[in-house]
Amino acid sequence: MDPEAEQAGPAATLADVARAAGVSVSSASRVLSGRGEVRPETRARILRAAADLGYRRSATRRGRPALHEPRLVELVVGRFGNPWTRTVADAARDRAAALGYDLALTVERADPADDWFARVVARRSSGVILGVTTPTAAERDGLRDLGIPLVLLDPRGEVPDGTSSVGTTDRAGGHDAGAHLVARGATGFLVVAGAPRFRFGRAREAGFRDAVRAGRPGAPLDRITTGWSSDEVVDARELARTATTASAAGGPLGVFAVTDDMAFAVSRAAATAGLRVPEDVLLVGFDDEPRAAAARPPLTTVRQPLAAMAARAVDLVHAARSGSAADEHVELPTRLVVRASTGAG
């Protein structure tokens, strides 16, 4: 047996943390799960007690001693198994390894007592990257009080003061999509937007509208909404109606979907409505996930540099651990990738 493990004694429990901080067990539990409001000085006292005792929820369950000073970066995502998560996780893991860190990939959970914040505190992580995930004020404050850097990757909402972030030039990408559809001769336009209206979706749509208004003033410009998952459905009848309006003006309908998944839904709806891509519908997506190049026809899309974004997020965690400024905001450039869905490429 490891002699250090023998000397460490039994793992600290939640009751030990509460006793050391001079609070109730329920108060300690609320703070360590990142939920519930307590006074800042109380929260700081609980978090400091947890850190001093080496409190780890997993250690408590398994009867193992705490690990000290890990070099562990947490990547928190909304779900596993999608192209976004795979690309981001691979790039973050490689960059973390190059800097001497391990990467823990974790998903949001419904139980506050077992959600990402509780696990970060339990593992005493070196830093946290939240991928398209919004932290609560209590979670942000708790990480700050523990000295754990937080970086938001492709954040859904506005970035709070004092928090670093990495994103992409969403508005410029949407503008490029709109300008391309104008150049390809579209006479009517449709934007397929997401609900709820996340920050990046709003920015992409705004850039698209700017380009259409500048390049084809007065042209019909419609909007429909769908969800953000890969199995969403676009109304084929609405697509046919807008395509008919564009055709009456002498050209195809130009459609910009704010994600590739939405673009694939448009393609399915076009087939249902008897519309051809690109003859009747010029289609542009956003992301350039692997399926875009393999689609039939291959999808014109705006590429966001996900791998570079993930690597930069790890760099910001490392820089914060080294004492650099804690609120750097990075935007990496997008690039239009032209393929056959707009009759080019």
> In Å, how far from its chain's centre is CA 306?
10
The pLDDT value recorded for residue 66 is 41
The pLDDT value recorded for residue 237 is 92
Q: Which residue has the tokens 């004092």?
A: 162
The pLDDT value recorded for residue 58 is 46
Round to whole Å and give the CA distance between 75 and 127.
Answer: 9
Round to whole Å and give the CA distance between 163 and 152.
Answer: 8
CATH class of 170-304+334-342: alpha beta
Minimal CA–CA distance to 77: which of 148, 145, 154? 154
The two structure tokens encoding residue 282: 């010029």
Q: Are 275 and 53 in contact (CB under 8 A)?
A: no
Round to whole Å and give the CA distance between 18 and 342.
Answer: 62
Pick the CATH number of 1-68 from 3.30.428.10, 1.10.287.3510, 1.10.260.40, 3.40.50.300: 1.10.260.40
CATH 1.10.260.40 placement within the chain: 1-68
Round to whole Å and give the CA distance between 289 and 230.
Answer: 12
The pLDDT value recorded for residue 36 is 60
The pLDDT value recorded for residue 63 is 36
Round to whole Å and give the CA distance between 3 and 142.
Answer: 33
CATH 3.40.50.2300 placement within the chain: 170-304+334-342
Which parts of the chain have pLDDT scores under 70? 1-10, 34-37, 56-70, 111-114, 325-326, 345
User: Over the stretch 83-115, which tens digit does the pLDDT of each residue have?
Assistant: 899 999 999 999 999 999 999 998 887 766 567
Minimal CA–CA distance to 29: which of 41, 16, 42, 18? 18
The two structure tokens encoding residue 126: 């070196």
- Cα separations (Å) of 282 from 252, 256, 263, 309, 322? 7, 9, 11, 29, 49
Q: Sign of dihedral through CA atoms 224, 227, 229, 233?
A: negative
The pLDDT value recorded for residue 113 is 59
Alpha-helical runs (H) found in the chain: 3-8, 14-21, 25-32, 40-53, 57-62, 83-98, 116-123, 137-146, 170-183, 199-215, 236-248, 260-273, 290-294, 306-321
The pLDDT value recorded for residue 325 is 61
The pLDDT value recorded for residue 223 is 96
The pLDDT value recorded for residue 161 is 85
